[in-house]
Structure 1
Amino acid sequence: MERVLKEWFGLDTFRPKQKEIITSILEGQNTLGILPTGSGKSLCYQIPALVLEGTTIVISPLISLMQDQVEALLENNIEAAFINSNMTVKNQEIVERRLRNGELKILYVAPERFNNLTFLNILDQIEVPLVAFDEAHCISKWGHDFRPSYQAVIPIIEKKLPNADYIALTATATEDVEANIVELLSIDKDNIFKTSVKRDNLKLSVDPTFQREQFILKYIAEKKDAPGIIYVSTRKDAEKLGGFLIDNDIDNVIYHAGLKKSERKSNQNAFVSGQKNIIVATNAFGMGIDKRDIRFIIHYNLPGDIESYYQEIGRAGRDGKLSECILLSNSRDVMLQQFFIDRSNATDEQKENMRTKLERIIQYNKTTKCLSSFIIKYFNPDEYVENCGMCSNCMREDKTIDITEESKHIIGLLNTISLPVEKTIQVLRGEQAENIIHTELPEHPYFGKLSKYQPSDVHHIIDELVMSGYLHLSNDMLSVPEQGNEILDGHTEIHSVPFRRQFKELVNVSTDTSFNETLYQALVEKRRELAEEKGVDEESIFTDVSLREFAKKMPTTKKDMMHITGMGNYKLKHYSPHFMEIIESYQSTRKEENVSFY
């Protein structure tokens, strides 16, 4: 395997799980690989294709993805081709002839190709040792991008290619999706290989701003010449935002399915080649692009699910350098995604699944917990996680506040009556709304108990209680599970990081003066130097709170460093040595100053 890796691809070592997946395939096992975007999934079937006799068939969802993959293989002198409905009949016949003659090692097709009688007849005449399902989440009805045609090819392949093995590859598989793929492709649990979805070099941020255009202008101005993608939900938004940036002297190209094929290709090439640094695009863009130095990805709108979001931010920082992924959103985005779901041709069961996924990305947008940990737990609830130390939530400097009393009022109300979320908020705030005043709710003992809070304040507390398991939410109706009474009975306290733009009047941020000012200033200067060298914001390296802790605790080992606020694995590896050096130098100087002679 190593020889093939070096000879054909010029690489010396495999990435995590690649070798295990390839070994499983070469041993004749149906195999599932769940690997992050940019982790080299394609090699997992390309190397077996070069080792095995015959032609490997790759089922791919996008024509553009097929083209990019084939071009890359041809550059490595690997006999590969694709065939799709956009090709002329003559060009299709050329590929079919090469396939029939055994000249191809790898052929990319869309699942619909298995409905073509000519293609099926050729399969009877050739040797196909392996069928690869790229973007395998499309097989599962529980996947975020389920395609019935993907699932429909399985019985055809079983009949036409009974001796072929399967390899399924995806970056986005929840437990339900994984189980569905395994069942459909008859994959043994011992042949499932996956790595953590964690990406240590991606700094995640959520900013529910209502001034998105101004945010983007300011951000790009601070990131001069940094390549970046701005994702939008609609073609209209792509055109509008792209034009807005041009009007503000920010050169960019746009990409969406409504553009002519030649224009899409030209705009993609301009971005990938570095001719243009900014591309404003719908989710039609990005699959399979080979650009390793994308420094930021901004989502102008809330995506429909975490799977799509994770797949799209996975295109940033493939060179291993620090990159930023920023989610902007407002309430309009939720309504837009609900509109997409209602208008889709999905079954009622699938639509309900889509709504559940939308709710999870909304929770991600609102959570005050570590954003990286949230995503990791979404895909693998059993994985042990630590806070990343650099996402927008981990870097908050606000003190934790006690929301136990507020929580008691909410649970006390819902213990007596089950209400929708919005009506719960209205009652607790004592609102004189039409749907309230003509009922008995104004007489309820909890009516107006949270009158001093904004609706969004109460909503955020409810979200915190739901996510922590102290409230149950189903079909927008709130109820209290047994665990919720632990708060009401005084057995449990609830503390939370202050929610964005809320609770600021409740927070008294004290300043800690018990640290060494001289050392602190030296650390601040080192942070400035590193930020300038790496082209990042100073606060993304360490916050002032972290530097004060350095100056107070003076950690000199990595073990000590892990106890510093905001310290994650990436910062521990890449930044902490610089600051330990400053601390050790300071301590050494102090020792010399304190030497006395008798």
Structure 2
Amino acid sequence: MNLEKNLKEIFGYEHFRKGQESIIQQVLAHTDTLGILPTGAGKSICYQLPALLQSGVTLVISPLISLMKDQVDALNVAGIPATFLNSTIDESEASFRMQQVENGTTKLLFVAPERFESEDFIYFLRHLPLELIAIDEAHCISQWGHDFRPSYVTFAQYLHTFPSSPTILALTATATPKVMADIQQLLNISPENTVTTGFLRENLSFEVIKGMDKHDFLKNYLRQHPEQSGIIYASTRKEVEEVTDFLNKNNFPATRYHAGLSESERQRNQEAFLYDFTPIMVATNAFGMGINKSNVRFVIHYSMPATIESYYQEAGRAGRDGLDSDAILLYAPNDLRIRNFLIEQSEGDETYKAHEYEKLRQMQAYTSSETCLQRYILQYFGDEGDDCGKCSNCLDTRERIDVTIDTQKVLSCVIRMGERFGKTAVAQVLIGSKNKNLTRWHFEKLSTFGIMSRQTQKQVGELIDFLTAENYLNVTSGKFPLLSVSQTGSRVLKGLDKVYRRTTLLTEAKTSTSSEQTAVNMALFEELRLLRMEFAKTENVPPFMIFSDAALKDMTRIMPNNADEFLQVSGVGPVKVQKYGSAFIDKIIDYQKIAENSTNTL
């Protein structure tokens, strides 16, 4: 079977992305498979293509209603029969759709995991020729994942009980080694049948901004990136409202999304963003898991998220079309206090809270690290990689200064305090604080008391954060993390290694433009965008479902003048040529004629 030929004929892509073909081959061989591919790597192709090549029904378990609708709309636009069952449709419509699946009219059925709570639905599935069950966002099944859902554990018990013995395919973008092992065990998938491609997103540029007014940064950045689509994540509903108001008052069209809004307003605002009516979405983490919008050019975290898993998943919503995009984190010390408060107020037990505090500590270490940001994230997920060469740390040209002596002071103080205290107490001892709590322990008698008195507590605290991020200090988990000296730190204390740190300097907003942008005919691109919008309004689907930005930019390079040439555009297959080809080809030919006439006139 020529899978690449099928890929081009059905979806319009010339080649598979890394990992896709291996997963599809295993699925077609009826091998239960776990696929771990980064956000934007095309996980949906891994079950959509087998669904069309096999004779039976493919069931897709998806966590969000919006995700189902987007995927079904995109499949239907491409001429692929798919439908969904969820709470947005009434009983009569649900019965009709189930009948379409039963009689073979519909090949792909999307459902939420909660649907398995219905005995009638289980009975319905048992009488279907189920050939494949695809589990999207599979990390939700693990209690160690950042988005654990008990409903995922509930349906897992049914997966191997269906008479047709369907193949199981679990897919996720964010899985630490611990979460991966959990998924394998719960779904009975062999490690040998797990396909991991690494977590690298080469088209994303990561950046951490510290010490800059967040409003000023947003204004500068958005002025330099006009009309680009992006998401700004905030930690609370109040913060979402504040940022949205600020942007609109400064003439940056923005809409909002959080759990405090009515369902109808959330839906209205989401559609305004998806359809490119409002380019900027300001949201809590309630927004995004089901968003397949491909032309998001930036994701800005207005405050620090709770975990690296959630950060990487949210940041990964930028650049799903493969074009260069930005992932920016604006950090302030108050972000940590807010996150600690949210964990403390959560309903989890002490074990859960300790786990969340540890994840938060790792997220904070990311903001303090001076190593490559992309590589830091890869290592968190148990992956390896070279420095990316384009994150804010890799591009940082500040001078690196020797801070070995100050480091030795900090490490020595931690040891003299018995390695039983946290950052605040250590910093206070080092600056010689008059805090009465310190006298209880007679810390004023330590040789390290006040030896960094020329620095502020904030400056010493930032140094401790740096030493923690770079693994010179170990930190215990829990609400009140305690410091101890690591083996790496011990080498520094013994004078075997030196420590270097960059000088303090405020970071300015990005102004760079990618070479990819300059190679594109932007005037023609804008005309094609307008044409795409006309089709989107007619078909009542988001514009990126007609063609991605990457496809439009490909058109400006190829300049197709007939159907065969149009087929060479990435993401264009026979169905889209038939539906949209003539209109887009005519627009390109007209543009060429106008450009030619202008040149002749000159």
Q: Which residue of 2 aligns with 1:183?
A: 185
Of stretches 27-36 and 278-287 in structure 1, the one that deviates more from structure 2 is 278-287
CA contact (8 A) 2:398 2:503 kept: yes
1:275 corresponds to which letter in structure 2?
F
Distance of 2:465 and 2:19 partners within structure 1: 37
Q: Which residue of 2 aligns with 1:512?
A: none
CA contact (8 A) 1:120 1:160 kept: no
Distance of 2:227 and 2:360 partners within structure 1: 34
Q: Which residue of 1 aligns with 2:305?
A: 303
Alignment partner of 1:485 is 2:490 = yes
Q: Which residue of 2 aligns with 1:584?
A: none
2:343 corresponds to which letter in structure 1?
I
CA contact (8 A) 1:136 1:181 kept: yes
Alpha-carbon RMSD: 2.4
CA contact (8 A) 2:214 2:302 kept: yes
Q: Describe the shift of the 1:138–1:221 C-alpha distance in structure 2 as closer, same or farther (beyond 3 A).
A: same
Q: Which residue of 1 aligns with 2:388?
A: 388
Q: Describe the shift of the 1:252–1:96 C-alpha distance in structure 2 as closer, same or farther (beyond 3 A).
A: same
Distance of 2:438 and 2:63 partners within structure 1: 51
Q: Which residue of 2 aligns with 1:497?
A: 502
CA contact (8 A) 2:401 2:502 kept: yes
Q: Which residue of 2 aligns with 1:278?
A: 280
Aligned pairs for 1:194-593 (under 5 A) are: 194-209=196-211, 211-381=213-383, 383=384, 385-416=385-416, 417-418=418-419, 419-475=421-477, 476-499=481-504, 533=518
Distance of 1:362 and 1:148 partners within structure 2: 28
- How far apart are residue 121 of structure 1 and its match? 1.1
Q: Which residue of 2 aligns with 1:554?
A: none
CA contact (8 A) 2:146 2:307 kept: yes
SS of residue matched to 1:122: helix
- How far apart are residue 108 of structure 1 and its match? 0.8
Q: Describe the shift of the 1:439–1:11 C-alpha distance in structure 2 as closer, same or farther (beyond 3 A).
A: closer
Q: Describe the shift of the 1:6–1:480 C-alpha distance in structure 2 as closer, same or farther (beyond 3 A).
A: closer
SS of residue matched to 2:235: coil
Q: Which residue of 2 aligns with 1:58?
A: 60
What's the % identity of the aligned pairs? 40
When the two structures are superposed, what TM-score results if normalisation uses the length of structure 2? 0.80
Distance of 1:173 and 1:180 partners within structure 2: 10
- How far apart are residue 95 of structure 1 and its match? 2.0
- How far apart are residue 429 of structure 1 and its match? 0.8
- How far apart are residue 265 of structure 1 and its match? 3.2
Alignment partner of 1:18 is 2:20 = yes
Aligned residues between the structures: 509
Distance of 1:152 and 1:499 partners within structure 2: 51
2:389 corresponds to which letter in structure 1?
G
When the two structures are superposed, what TM-score results if normalisation uses the length of structure 1? 0.80
- How far apart are residue 482 of structure 1 and its match? 4.6
Aligned pairs for 1:48-197 (under 5 A) are: 48-160=50-162, 163-197=165-199
Distance of 2:351 and 2:155 partners within structure 1: 22
Distance of 1:313 and 1:529 partners within structure 2: 19
CA contact (8 A) 1:460 1:499 kept: no
CA contact (8 A) 1:123 1:161 kept: no
CA-to-partner distance for each residue in 1:68-127, whole Å, 9 max, x for gaps?
111111122222111112321222222222233343211111111111011111122111
CA contact (8 A) 2:142 2:148 kept: yes
1:491 corresponds to which letter in structure 2?
L
CA contact (8 A) 1:404 1:487 kept: yes
- How far apart are residue 231 of structure 1 and its match? 1.3
CA-to-partner distance for each residue in 1:258-309, whole Å, 9 max, x for gaps?
3334433332333233322222122232334343332222111111111111
1:149 corresponds to which letter in structure 2?
S
Distance of 2:339 and 2:303 partners within structure 1: 10
- How far apart are residue 501 of structure 1 and its match? 5.9
- How far apart are residue 201 of structure 1 and its match? 2.1
Q: Describe the shift of the 1:162–1:425 C-alpha distance in structure 2 as closer, same or farther (beyond 3 A).
A: farther
- How far apart are residue 340 of structure 1 and its match? 2.8
Of stretches 141-150 and 90-99 in structure 1, the one that deviates more from structure 2 is 90-99
Alignment partner of 1:34 is 2:36 = yes
Distance of 1:439 and 1:40 partners within structure 2: 57
CA contact (8 A) 1:56 1:130 kept: yes
CA contact (8 A) 2:228 2:279 kept: yes
CA-to-partner distance for each residue in 1:414-448, whole Å, 9 max, x for gaps?
22322222111100111111212454211111111
CA-to-partner distance for each residue in 1:129-171, whole Å, 9 max, x for gaps?
1111100110111110011110121112223457122101111
- How far apart are residue 529 of structure 1 and its match? 11
Q: Describe the shift of the 1:194–1:213 C-alpha distance in structure 2 as closer, same or farther (beyond 3 A).
A: same
SS of residue matched to 2:388: coil
Q: Describe the shift of the 1:482–1:12 C-alpha distance in structure 2 as closer, same or farther (beyond 3 A).
A: closer
CA-to-partner distance for each residue in 1:210-264, whole Å, 9 max, x for gaps?
6212221222122222222111122222222111211122222222233334433
Q: Describe the shift of the 1:93–1:346 C-alpha distance in structure 2 as closer, same or farther (beyond 3 A).
A: farther
**Structure 2 residue runs without a partner (length 5+):** 521-602
Q: Which residue of 1 aligns with 2:4?
A: 2
1:446 corresponds to which letter in structure 2?
T
Of stretches 152-161 and 11-20 in structure 1, the one that deviates more from structure 2 is 152-161
Q: Which residue of 2 aligns with 1:522?
A: none
Q: Which residue of 2 aligns with 1:46?
A: 48
- How far apart are residue 345 of structure 1 and its match? 3.6
CA contact (8 A) 1:142 1:350 kept: no
CA contact (8 A) 2:19 2:197 kept: yes
The higher relative CO (CA closer than 8 Å, separation ≥ 6) is in 2
Distance of 1:472 and 1:341 partners within structure 2: 22
Q: Describe the shift of the 1:13–1:302 C-alpha distance in structure 2 as closer, same or farther (beyond 3 A).
A: same
Distance of 1:294 and 1:272 partners within structure 2: 10
Q: Describe the shift of the 1:168–1:299 C-alpha distance in structure 2 as closer, same or farther (beyond 3 A).
A: same
CA contact (8 A) 1:96 1:119 kept: no
- How far apart are residue 530 of structure 1 and its match? 6.4
Distance of 1:528 and 1:249 partners within structure 2: 23
CA contact (8 A) 2:205 2:390 kept: yes
SS of residue matched to 1:158: coil
Of stretches 249-258 and 79-88 in structure 1, the one that deviates more from structure 2 is 249-258
SS of residue matched to 1:326: strand
Distance of 2:374 and 2:514 partners within structure 1: 27
Distance of 2:513 and 2:37 partners within structure 1: 36
CA contact (8 A) 2:400 2:503 kept: yes
CA contact (8 A) 2:212 2:506 kept: no
Of stretches 164-173 and 102-111 in structure 1, the one that deviates more from structure 2 is 102-111
